[in-house]
């Protein structure tokens, strides 16, 4: 199977079996999504969703967050991983948006990465979820699943390299959705330690499954 054929098969499968694929983070506007994504770094969406209601109740807008004090915000974030840094990032992010972007969350990757706590992955998430821009955020799930299936070569050893391969081969209008396909597949089926290959609908064209099956029968 060529790589082009593999992409076609994977896309057809997800289009049929996961026609609706969205972030599991709960949010009401771009500001709330940005807060949630910053908090989600090395933390589960479930934990973030348990934490953000209190944050949004006290700081409902980017303007109110820009006036937050560390000692007031930190208690609301302390159950999240790296609470010290994330508290600083949220306050810094809000202040920069208010001061440099007229209080509106910018919607380009180049602008977003100027914000404290926002890297390329976060910027890609924001632009693809809010604006459906053809940007592919590569987290650990996307990185792992892409390699296991064989969507990217072994030489793609960085998130950026994986991103470039995926964007090159996935139709532009599907990139924002494909990001969630790969994340959700990695989160619930293609697990890091014990992938559920027996329950996987794409195992017939998965490089990892073919190798492990050959190893067992060889």
Please indicate whether residue 164 is annotated as part of the active site. no
pLDDT tens per residue, range 1-20: 889 999 999 999 999 999 99
Q: Give the whole-angstrom CA distance, residue 79 versus residue 218.
A: 48
| CATH number of 3-21+136-217, picked from 1.10.10.10, 3.30.1330.10, 1.10.1670.10, 1.10.287.3510 | 1.10.1670.10
pLDDT tens per residue, range 133-146: 999 999 999 999 99
Specify the residue for token string 């391969």.
Answer: 165
Q: How confident is the model at residue 216 (pLDDT cuts 50, 70, 90)?
A: low
Q: Give the whole-angstrom CA distance, residue 118 versus residue 176.
A: 18
Write out the residue limits of the CATH 1.10.1670.10 domain(s) in the chain. 3-21+136-217
Write out the residue limits of the CATH 1.10.340.30 domain(s) in the chain. 30-131
Q: CATH code for 30-131?
A: 1.10.340.30
CA–CA–CA angle 171, 145, 213 (5° rounding): 120
Please indicate whether residue 139 is annotated as part of the active site. yes
**What does the pLDDT read at residue 213?**
79
Coil, helix or strand at residue 18: coil
Count CB atoms within 10 A of the CB of residue 92: 15
pTM listed for this prediction: 0.91
Q: Give the whole-angstrom CA distance, residue 56 versus residue 77.
A: 12
**Burial of 145 from C-beta contacts in 10 A (0-12 / 13-18 / 19+):** buried
Here the tokens at position 44 are: 């589960």
Yes or no: say if 87 and 115 are a contact pair by the CB < 8 Å rule. no
In this prediction, residues 121-125 reach a mean pLDDT of 97
Pick the catalytic residue from 6, 86, 139, 177: 139
The residue among 71, 67, 208 whose CA lies nearest residue 147 is 208
Pick the catalytic residue from 12, 121, 168, 196: 121
**What does the pLDDT read at residue 215?**
60
In this prediction, residues 179-190 reach a mean pLDDT of 96
Q: What's the chain's Rg over C-alpha atoms?
A: 19
């Amino acid at each position: 199977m060529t790589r082009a054929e593999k992409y076609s098969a994977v896309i057809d499968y997800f289009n049929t079996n996961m026609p609706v694929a969205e972030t599991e983070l709960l949010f009401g506007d771009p500001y709330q999504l940005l807060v949630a994504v910053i908090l989600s770094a090395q933390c589960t969406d479930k934990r973030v969703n348990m934490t953000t209601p209190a944050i949004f109740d006290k700081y409902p807008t980017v303007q109110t967050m820009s006036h937050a004090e560390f000692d007031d915000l930190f208690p609301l974030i302390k159950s999240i991983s790296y609470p010290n840094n994330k508290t600083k990032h949220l306050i810094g992010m809000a202040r920069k948006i208010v001061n440099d972007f007229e209080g509106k969350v910018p919607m380009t990757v180049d602008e977003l990465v100027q914000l404290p706590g926002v890297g390329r992955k976060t910027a890609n998430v924001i632009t693809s979820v809010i604006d459906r821009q053809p940007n592919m955020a590569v987290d650990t799930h996307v990185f792992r699943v892409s390699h296991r299936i064989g969507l990217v070569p072994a030489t793609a050893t960085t998130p950026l390299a994986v991103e470039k391969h995926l964007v090159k081969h996935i139709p532009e209008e599907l990139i924002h959705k494909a990001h969630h396909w790969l994340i959700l597949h990695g989160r619930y089926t293609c697990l890091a330690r014990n992938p559920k290959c027996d329950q996987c609908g794409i195992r017939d064209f998965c490089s990892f499954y073919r190798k492990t099956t050959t190893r067992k029968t060889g």
